């Protein structure tokens, strides 16, 4: 090989190496997970930080965002009493009315063993305390309880915090004196979509981990159980496609 041939072969190789490096660089830019300094964007291929949602507690003045009806989809507790309550739960339906001065929540629970039904009516005047630095905590101390339709004395208090997560989702921590619940709801009408169940449940586990809840004894809605006051399915389900063609 002459010196000239050698030089020309080297330059071809150099160009090949350069091209390879360029391709690698383009490839890595195309993968948003490679660069940890790039903030997560609307790009759905980027893995979002699962704890990030939990930084967004809902401010008391924004509670009106939760107006509507909700179905408990998944829940965990960090205490045996909470676990036995959740293992006995069949369905839980919640209705919220809120503005920046009042928070009204009606929770209707059905259980597998008696008493079969408990309805909680929470009605709180929101106090915008100067010492409540973050203005996210609802102190629940005005609760009316009905057990199987009969009034019962109830004087437990709780602290409730809501977190902003996905649209059609509601995430809440409910803290009583000795223990806590993490409760995840879907908007009524969006609670029967089996496609979403698996991914949603993966999110739940991560949220539980972020908030230091064990998640080995969860309550999971079965997608069909009726609620205390109404059916789970809408009154007229659209006919299945098969039914129309036959
Ligand atoms: C609540 O909202 C109303 C109007 O929407 C406003 O006039 C009032 O100042 C608000 N109150 C508080 C405590 O933020
Ligand atoms: C909530 O409490 C307020 C003040 O006591 C009362 O005026 C209102 O009627 C109550 N609302 C419900 C839905 O119970
Ligand atoms: C709360 O209720 C329990 C029984 O239901 C009772 O023993 C207790 O004294 C009550 N506490 C208050 C502060 O009313």
Cα–Cα dist 184/205, whole Å: 11
Q: Is pLDDT at 111 greater than 90 in this prediction?
A: yes
pLDDT of residue 114: 85
pLDDT of residue 223: 87
More confidently predicted of 32 and 126: 126
Q: How far is the CA of 162 from the centre of ligand 2 (A)?
A: 22
Q: Is pLDDT at 106 greater than 80 in this prediction?
A: yes
**In a domain? residue 83:** yes
State how far the alpha carbon of 218 is from the alpha carbons of 121, 174, 183, 201, 204, in Å: 24, 15, 10, 10, 10
**In a domain? residue 18:** no
**In a domain? residue 43:** no
**In a domain? residue 246:** no
Q: How far is the CA of 155 from the centre of ligand 3 (A)?
A: 6
Choice among 17-21, 186-190, 201-205 with the minimum mean pLDDT: 17-21
Name which residue sits closest to atom 11 of ligand 3, judged by CA.
155
**In a domain? residue 24:** no
Q: What is the pTM of this model?
A: 0.75
Residue range(s) defining the domain that contains residue 58: 52-220
Q: Is pLDDT at 216 greater than 80 in this prediction?
A: yes
Q: Show the CA angle centred on residue 240, arms to residues 238 and 246, nearest 5°.
A: 125
**In a domain? residue 165:** yes
- Ligand 1 lining (C-beta closer than 6 Å): 61, 100, 128
CATH assignment at residue 189: 2.40.128.20
Count of domains observed in the chain: 1
Q: Is pLDDT at 199 greater than 60 in this prediction?
A: yes
For 119-160, the pLDDT digits (tens) are 999 999 987 766 656 688 999 999 999 999 999 999 999 999
């Amino acid at each position: 090989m002459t010196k000239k041939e050698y030089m020309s072969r080297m330059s071809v190789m150099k160009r090949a190496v350069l091209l390879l490096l360029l391709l690698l660089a383009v490839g890595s830019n195309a993968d948003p997970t490679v660069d940890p300094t790039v903030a997560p964007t609307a790009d759905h291929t980027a893995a979002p930080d699962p704890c990030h949602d939990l930084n967004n507690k809902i401010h008391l003045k924004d509670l009106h965002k939760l107006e509507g009806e909700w179905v408990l989809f998944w829940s965990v507790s960090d205490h045996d009493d909470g676990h036995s309550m959740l293992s006995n739960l069949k369905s839980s339906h919640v209705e919220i009315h809120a503005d920046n001065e009042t928070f009204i929540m009606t929770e209707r629970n059905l259980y597998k063993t008696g008493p079969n039904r408990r309805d909680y009516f929470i009605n709180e005047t929101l106090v915008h305390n100067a010492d409540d630095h973050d203005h996210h905590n609802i102190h629940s101390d005005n609760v009316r309880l009905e057990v199987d339709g009969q009034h019962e004395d109830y004087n437990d208090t709780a602290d409730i915090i809501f977190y902003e997560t996905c649209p059609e989702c509601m995430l809440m921590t409910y803290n009583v004196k000795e223990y806590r619940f993490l409760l995840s709801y879907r908007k009524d009408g969006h609670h029967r979509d089996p496609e979403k169940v698996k991914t949603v449940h993966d999110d739940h586990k991560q949220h539980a981990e972020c908030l230091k809840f064990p998640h080995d004894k969860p309550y999971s809605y079965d997608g069909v159980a009726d609620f205390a006051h109404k059916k789970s399915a809408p009154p007229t389900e659209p006919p299945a496609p098969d039914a129309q063609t036959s």
